[in-house]
Each structure stands twice: as C-alpha cells, then as structure tokens.
Amino acid sequence: MKKTLFILLLSSFTCSFAQNEALKPYGPIPTANQLRWQKMEYYAFIHYSINTYTDMAWGFGNEDLNLFNPDKLDARQWAKICKEAGMKGIIFTAKHHSGFCMWPSKYTEYSVKNVPWKNGKGDVVKEMADACKEFGLKFGVYLSPWDRNHPDYGKPEYITYFRNQLTELLTNYGEIFEVWFDGANGGNGYYGGANETRKIDAKTYYDWQNTYKLVRKLQPNIVIWNDGGDRADLRWVGTEAGYVGETNWSLLNARGDVPEDMLRHGVENGNAWVPGEVNTSIRPEWFYHEREDRKVKTLPQLLDVYYHSVGRNGTMLLNFPIMPNGLIHEKDEKAIQELTKTLKETFKSNLAKNAKITASTSRGKTAQFAANKSIDNDLDSYWATNDDIKTASLTLDFGKMTSFNRFLVQEPIRLGQRVKSFSLDALVNGKWTEIAKETTIGYKRILRFPTVEATKLRLNILDSKSCPLISNIEVYKAPIVLTPPTIIRDKEGLVSFKSGDKESEIYYTLDGSQPTSRSPKYTTPVKTADGKVEIKAISYNPFTKQSSIVGEESFDISHKSWKIINTNDINANQILDGNSTTSWHQKNGDLVIDLGKQQKISGFRYLPAQNWWEEGSIITHFQFSTSTDGINWKLASEGEFSNIKNNPFWQTKTFEPVQANFIKFTPMKTVNPGSDFGIAEFDLITKE
C-alpha cells in the first residue's frame, strides 16, 4: 500500500517536473517588443501633410502655410475605419519630408500652429493619438529624418533639432508602439530659403545609436523602423508593392550592407532578429491625389497583399491617404470593408479544431510537447521533437471527407525561427498527394491552394535548423471571391480573361449576349474575329452556383496586321498588347502605324502610361493624321486631352471618317515639359 502511494507520488513528481522542461532557443530571438509587435499582424499608415494641398508626393519645404485649412478633418473617422477593418494600430506622418509639423512643435514655426485651421490652435497628432485611444488602437509616429524646410538640415545642429522633435512626440502623446524613420535622405529642398541640394551620409550623419538610446529611454515598449541608417528593430522588405518573399527569415546580420535580396528574404544564418514589415498604400501613391480615385486597390489585390505579408511571416502596414478636406475617401473605406468581410468569412471556421492529430515523433513521453499542442488554441504551447530530429510530421484526421483551401501554421518564435522547408500532403481517395512544398514558416505562414477534398492532412517538416516546434495549425475553406473577370485582347486578336480568384470558373460570350454558366467556359486564350467584337464574361463559383457581376469590353478591329514602322524598338508593340500595365516611351517623334490594309477611320483612343512615376510622360496635346501611301499626310484631328493629368485613363477623339492605310499620332506636349512621351495602349475607332 505504502509502496504504491510512493510510486504514484514519485511519478506525479517526475511528470510535473518534466512538464516544466524549458527548451533552449535556437539562434537569435525576438525581444519582448518585437514579439508584441509581430502579434499585431495588421495595422495602418496614414499619410497627411501640407503637400496634400499641392498634389505632390513630397513637399519641397516651402509650401504656403495658408494652404492647410481642412473643413472636415476628423481623426475619429480614420481610427473608426481602421478599427472596423480589424487593424491593431495606426502610424501617422507627424512630419514628412516637407518638414511641416502636424503638431505645434516648440522648435519650428513651420507647423500647424501657423495655419488657418483652428486658428493655429490645432494639433493633428493629438487628435490622432486621442482617436486611437478611443478606438482601442495602438499609436505610432512617422518622423522624417530628411527635412526640406529646416535651414540647418545637413549640419550637426539639425540632429539636436530632430531629437528635440522626437522628444516632443515620444513624451506628449502617450504610449507609442512604433517609430518610423524613412530612408529618403538628402536632396534638393527649400532649407530656410537656401533652395539648394544638400547631401548627407545616411550612415554617419544622424548618429542613430544615440537617437535609438533616446527613443528607448522615452518609450521602453517601442519598436524602431529604419531602412536608411543603422539596423534597428524592423526591416523594410525592399519594395512598396505589398509583398515579402515566400522564403522569409526574420534574421539579418547586425552589420554590413543589406542588398534588396536580403530585405526581401532575410538572411537564413543572420546574427540579429530583424523581422520584415510590408508597407504599401491602398492607392498607387502615399498622399492623396484625386486622379487616383479610380486606382484604389481591388479586393483581389488587397487579398494578395494580406497573404503576401501576414501570410509570409511579415506584418501588413496599409496606408490610407487623407483628402484635402481631412477625411479618408469613401472608395478606400469601401475597399477595406470588402477585404475585412472576406477575411472574416475565410477565417471563420477552423477545420483543424475538431480533428485528431498525431505526430510521427514527439519530444519525451509527457503531454507537454504532444501533437495536440499545435491545435489547442494556445500560442504559448507547442509540439516539439527530440533535439536530434530535423524531419517529422503531424497528421490531422478530420474523421470525414473535408474540403479546404487554406492552411495556416505557426512556430513559437520566442525560441527562434527554425523550419527551413516543409510540405503538405492530403489523403485523397486513399492516396497521399502533395499539395504544397514550401520553405520557411516563422511567426505565421498561410498557404492558399485549390480546394482539396480529403479525410487527412499531413504537415511534413522536411528540414529544420534545430528540432522543429509548431505552436499552431489551422485549416479553412475560404469562399471563392467573385469579381468580374478582366478581359484583354492581344495584338494577334487572342482574348484572355483573368478572375480575382483562381478557383472560380469563367464563362464568356463574344456576341454581346449575357453570359451564364451555360456559355462557353474559358480555358485557354480565345481567337476572335478580326473585326469589332463585344465580349462579356462572369466569374462563377461551381460549388454555390453564384456568379459575379458581368465584366465587359468592346474591341474595335484587331491589331493583327498593324505594324509600327518608324521605330525598331521592340517595346513599341506593348502599346498594342492590350495590357495597360506595360508602356512604351520615346523621346521625340511620332507614332506611325501601317494598318496592313485600308480602313475607314473615325477616331482614335489613347491610354497614357499608368504608373505614377510615369506621370510626366502623359501626353496633353496631339495631332493625328492619316495617309493612304505613307508619304502624303492629311491632318484628321488636333488638340488637347483636357484634364488628362487628373484623369489619366482612356482618351477618345472622333472625327469625320477617312480612308487610311497609315496613321500618325504626333505628341505635341507632355505634363512635364521636355519629358518623353508615354503610351500604355493605342487603338483606332473604325466605321464599317
């Protein structure tokens, strides 16, 4: 009797002792601040400053203070939109490159204290900080190191000024979760009236180490973002397009240059923990420009940003520009609402929750590291293997046929990022089939794949730096996103369709009739007649039998027989490829096209180059001539594309029909005088 009791006591003692086994971290690990930040996953940027009123990407530093007088400024609207989108915080441009301060800084006159808004008594930083507090959001500040207004920029005195401002921001506005030091540094500017170019050495000028000390002293819980100078807590991912690499290590080397490839993927054996933050704007540019009202990211684009940031071991920092009236545009609000709705539906019901899970091997004999720790809804507990193991698997048994198309997996990164490669198999009709083969996991990895119907799902860790640890697995069936397909006709007359969700089917018609699921189904590019064609298409969900609204496009005669004859530049054909994201630029000269046969022409259409950095190349004035022999030309139309700068989309000009074998489009002026001419697409309007 006594002996049994003793054994019982002993075994419960060894059990509880074993349960407390603390695994050793492997390699660099996050600080408590980095860990807290990583868990935020998804938060906002807000760009608003004096250059909002001059339609500029970067203020020069001499913008008139009288311009700042919004009549509807409402930081609560910004915070409400972000909160409802499920975001966890907002980083606000307290000072952008123009040097204009959105708070009444004691150290400069170039601030809200000298503007008409609220008679100089306003403080946008405070309104933002208060709104974040009210809506339960964390607050961060963007303080541009480059200051195109300050007379001392480039001299040692400016560093004191910069630190004084930093002290104001990090002292007077409550807890700050992140500070952003942008990498654009030095160049031309106003500089207190000097109007000159000032160059600085970004590596030495700012004496970052001492600035970091000040920041951490004032805000012990902060994370520092810096892509220009010394390495800080977070890294830029090398692009503002909204993605980080599929392979994404949260590591870099503490010293040495960081080329783009390292920013994109991290460094597998790096000696410092520097995770990536994916920053992008909901529109092409960071500040508000009316001309971009039609360029707000679509739902499929926003979903891509989410899966390519949060889904790839990064965080998502999405920017909203503020309009001159002081509000976020309703199109941006609608776009983020659609994203929120889709993400909510996607991650509503975790199919791993009720599955049975087993491991090929687990650490020790206790429950502490058992397979089910990866589905227990507790990020602190995890499945682990013995130290010498680098390859192992976890199998989820759903107990019945289950369909899914998303897989989410997490490592407990407080013990280091370990997994180097993994794959996913599904048991389909009694056979294991590989559905994905990937590299890193990190804090969170989400995979998207076509819907699979299976009874079991197996995660294979194929290689790991040290014994693999998995803290969480989730499985979902995301609804298919139904957006109208985009329709493109290339130079050869082949039509292709693209839907917002690879899983949806596409049905189309070529005669202008309404497409249904009984219309032809799109598989490969479709040959169309050389003449005019009206195409309609829907995206279709074969499971729910729902369709998107109809996408439609009308094309004039095909470009098959057309030849651009006054250039050898092969890029010229991009203006006839139906793809609006590619463009052709030329310094001078006309666009001359041999149409291959005579056509009756009654107009033309011009689409300017679409990227914001190509804006200067938009053609504002033109001449259009025709010819039957390519020698003698007759002017058919000339003039201006009114408002094209603000509305850089298809421009149509019509005229009395003329017979022509050749056409000549002569650009006369561009938005930026002297800039080259940019054309994304060019087309003709013909009469039968």
Q: Where is 223: in which H helix or E strand?
A: strand 223-226
Beta strand segments in 572-627, E: 584-586, 591-607, 619-627
Q: What is the CA radius of gyration of the chain?
A: 29
508 is a site residue for ligand FUL (CB under 6 A): no
Burial of 5 per CB tally in 10 Å (0-12, 13-18, 19+): exposed
Residues in the chain: 688
Residue 79, classed as helix, strand or coil, is helix
Tell the smallest beta-carbon distance from residue 49 to ligand FUL (Å): 9
In angstroms, what is the minimal distance from the CB of 183 to ligand FUL?
A: 6
Distance, in Å, from the CA atom of 666 to the CA atom of 556, rounded to the nearest integer, reads 21
- In one letter, which amino acid is 304? D
Compute CA 457 distance to the chain's CA centroid, rounded to the nearest angstrom. 30
Binding mask 227-266 for ligand FUL (x = CB under 6 A): ----------------------------------------
Q: 634 pairs with which residues across the strands?
A: 626
Q: How far is the CB of 184 from ligand FUL (least distance, A)?
A: 4
Q: By CB under 6 A, name the one of 286, 383, 508, 624 that touches ligand FUL.
A: 286
Paired residues of 91 in beta bridges = 45, 140
Which of the ranges 181-189, 201-209, 494-502, 598-606 carries the binding residues for ligand FUL, by CB under 6 A? 181-189
Q: Which of 18, 35, 67, 184 binds ligand FUL (CB under 6 A)?
A: 184
Q: Which stretch binds ligand FUL (CB under 6 A): 22-30, 107-115, 178-186, 441-449?
A: 178-186
Nearest distance, CB of residue 321 and ligand FUL, angstroms: 10
Applying CB under 6 A, which part among 110-118, 180-188, 400-408, 426-434 lies near ligand FUL? 180-188
Other CB atoms within 10 A of residue 338 CB: 16
Q: Which is nearer to ligand FUL, 58 or 110 (CB)?
A: 58
Whichever of 59 and 412 has its CB closer to ligand FUL, that residue is: 59
**What string of H, E and C letters represents the secondary structure of 86-139?**
CCCEEEEEEECCCCCECCCCCCCCCEHHHCCHHHHCCCHHHHHHHHHHHCCCEE
Sequence letter at residue 200: I
Maximum C-alpha span of the chain:
116
Which of the stretches 182-190, 380-388, 528-536, 564-572 binds ligand FUL when contact is defined by CB under 6 A? 182-190
Cβ at position 59, least distance to ligand FUL in Å = 10
Cα distance from N-terminal residue to C-terminal residue, the chain: 105
Positions 42 through 61 that interact with ligand FUL (CB under 6 A): 57-58
CB count within 10 Å of CB 116 equals 13
Q: Which residue lies nearer to ligand FUL by CB, 226 or 342?
A: 226
Q: Which range, of 179-187, 212-220, 293-301, 664-672, touches ligand FUL by CB under 6 A?
A: 179-187
Give the distance, in angstroms, between the CA of residue 191 and the centroid of all CA atoms in the same chain: 33
Nearer to ligand FUL, 302 or 424 (CB): 302
Of the residues 279, 466, 599, 651, which one makes contact with ligand FUL according to CB under 6 A? 279
Contact between 182 and ligand FUL (CB under 6 A)? yes
185 interacts with ligand FUL by CB under 6 A: no
Using CB under 6 A, list all residues that contact ligand FUL: 57-58, 182-184, 279, 286
